[in-house]
Every structure is written in C-alpha cells, then in structure tokens.
C-alpha cells in the first residue's frame, strides 16, 4: 500500500458519543414546506447524530448560529437499478479512488472559500472531524494517478442511512465519480431498496446523477426503516 491508501485512525471503531442535552425539533410535526425548523444548540457529536436520526441536519444560519434543517421535499439518490453512463465509466478509469484515507483534505476541498454559497465553517469542519474520529463520518477520495486529490465527498453513515454533506472537484467529473463509487459500495452491502442516500436538496448536478425529491413524510418513513440496517462502510 502507498501512504494514500492507508485508512485513517477511526476506521472500524464506531463509538457512540455522549447523548445530546438538547431537545431537537420533530420534523413530523413541521408545517409542509417549512425547512428551517430550529436555531441554536451545539455541534457536539451526540447532537449531530441525534439530529440525523430524527431527520434533521445542521447548517449555519448567517455563519453565526446553527440551524437545524429538514427540506421538504428531500433529495435522495435511489440505489436500485443504477446505470453508469459510458462517459462516467471512462472518467473512473482516469482516476484512483480511496476511502477514508484523507477525510480532512476532502472537507477542506468542500470548504474552499472560493466556492460560491460556501457554508462549511471551521466549527462545522471540526465537528465532522470529531465524528470521523468516532467512526461515523466517511470520505470518498478521487485521485489523479500521482495521488493528488482531484475531488471527493464526505458524509455520515448511521445504519443504512448515508447522509451526504458536500462534494467538490478540481478534476473533470471527479465529484460524479465519487458519487458513483459510493452508490456502488452502498448497493454492494445489500438491502439497496431500503438504504437511503440522502443528498439534502436536489440540484441540476445531483439530478444528473439520478437524485429525486421525496415528500418529507415519505422521507421520514424511509429513514426509520434505513436506520435499522447495518452500515455499509467500515467504521
């Protein structure tokens, strides 16, 4: 193995943190179409995990306070009957893919301040790094043949839920390649119809990869089923 292929500390050791001390909003009681359901609390590992299990995720509000979001509809990428376009199969051959070998570099690429609509603050990056150390957060790294990072994605996996947080690319189609790699790993774990690849909101970029919208009640129902499954990735 080259150094770039060695899994980081944390892989294979998923540990439950201290429970959150906050009472988080209940998306099942939210008004249809409302998305920002609460502001405040903290980014402790137990709080973030409790939020995802409830159908929420954190995103800063004006980069000062933590907002707790539940999009309605919610973007997901279905895992069944996936077809990889020929152009993406060709793109994959240009790159080398690793998993959980440089989580911090992937988050830094996603948080690049030159990117428009950036929301990943130093506090957010630190919070997800703590979750990586506890075995809950994962990264897919897409590398040029010389090992340099061309793109990637990161997110949390809780049971059969993979909550994609962000992706980036500096090489052509590198973020799409990362998504395809993740989809194949999730499918390979079985129960593809019940696993949930959450992408928060659909965008033209994500729709080109098969993302669809789910009404919030359907998302919450599927989330409950997904959380009962074993995780697909190490950690």
Q: Count the domains in the chain.
A: 2
Are 111 and 215 in a shared domain? yes
Which residue range forms the structural domain that includes residue 112? 74-226
Average pLDDT over residues 199-225: 95
Are 111 and 160 in a shared domain? yes
pLDDT at 3 over 70: no
pLDDT at 19 over 90: yes
Specify the DSSP class assigned to residue 201: S
For tokens 């997901």, what's the residue? 76
Q: What percent of the chain has pLDDT over 90?
A: 81
Quick one: pLDDT at residue 80? 87
Q: Distance between CA atoms of 202 and 204, rounded to whole angstroms?
A: 7
Average pLDDT over residues 127-144: 97
Q: Distance between CA atoms of 140 and 110, rounded to whole angstroms?
A: 12
pLDDT at 12 over 60: no
User: Is the pTM for the entire model greater than 0.85?
Assistant: yes
Are 204 and 110 in a shared domain? yes
Give a yes or no: residue 17 inside a domain.
no
> At 81, is the pLDDT very low, low, confident or very high (cuts 50, 70, 90)?
confident
Helical packing angle, 45-54 and 122-133, nearest 10°: 90
pLDDT at 110 over 80: yes
Average pLDDT over residues 42-63: 94
Cβ atoms of residues 211 and 185 within 8 Å: no
Give a yes or no: residue 44 inside a domain.
yes
Are 33 and 138 in a shared domain? no
Average pLDDT over residues 147-153: 97
Quick one: pLDDT at residue 90? 87
pLDDT at 235 over 70: no
Quick one: pLDDT at residue 201? 95
Quick one: pLDDT at residue 2? 35
Give a yes or no: residue 1 inside a domain.
no
Q: Distance between CA atoms of 188 and 80, rounded to whole angstroms?
A: 11
CATH number of the domain that 188 lies in? 3.40.630.70
Averaged pLDDT score across all residues of the chain: 91
* Residue 118 to residues 57, 104, 112, 151, 168, Cα–Cα distance (Å): 16, 17, 8, 16, 11
Q: Which of 1-5, 7-11, 96-100, 141-145 is the least confident region?
A: 1-5
For tokens 């988050």, what's the residue? 107
């Amino acid at each position: 193995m080259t150094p770039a292929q060695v899994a980081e500390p944390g892989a294979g050791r998923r540990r439950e943190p201290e429970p959150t001390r906050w009472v988080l909003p209940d998306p099942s009681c939210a008004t249809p179409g409302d998305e920002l359901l609460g502001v405040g609390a903290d980014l402790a590992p137990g709080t973030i995990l409790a939020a995802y299990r409830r159908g929420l995720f954190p995103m800063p509000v004006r980069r000062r306070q933590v907002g707790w979001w539940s999009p309605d509809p919610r973007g997901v990428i279905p895992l069944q009957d996936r077809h990889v376009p020929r152009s993406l199969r060709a793109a994959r051959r240009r790159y080398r893919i690793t998993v959980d070998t440089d989580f911090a570099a992937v988050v830094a690429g996603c948080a690049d301040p030159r990117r428009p609509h950036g929301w990943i603050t130093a506090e957010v990056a630190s919070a997800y790094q703590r979750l990586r150390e506890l075995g809950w957060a994962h990264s897919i790294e897409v590398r040029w043949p010389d090992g340099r990072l061309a793109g990637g994605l990161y997110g949390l996996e809780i049971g059969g839920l993979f909550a994609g947080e962000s992706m980036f690319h500096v090489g052509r189609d590198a973020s799409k390649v990362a998504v395809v790699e993740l989809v194949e790993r999730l499918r390979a774990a079985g129960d593809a119809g019940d696993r949930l690849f959450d992408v928060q909101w659909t965008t033209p970029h994500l729709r080109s990869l098969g993302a669809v919208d789910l009404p919030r009640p359907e998302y919450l129902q599927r989330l409950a089923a997904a959380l009962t499954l074993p995780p697909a990735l190490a950690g």
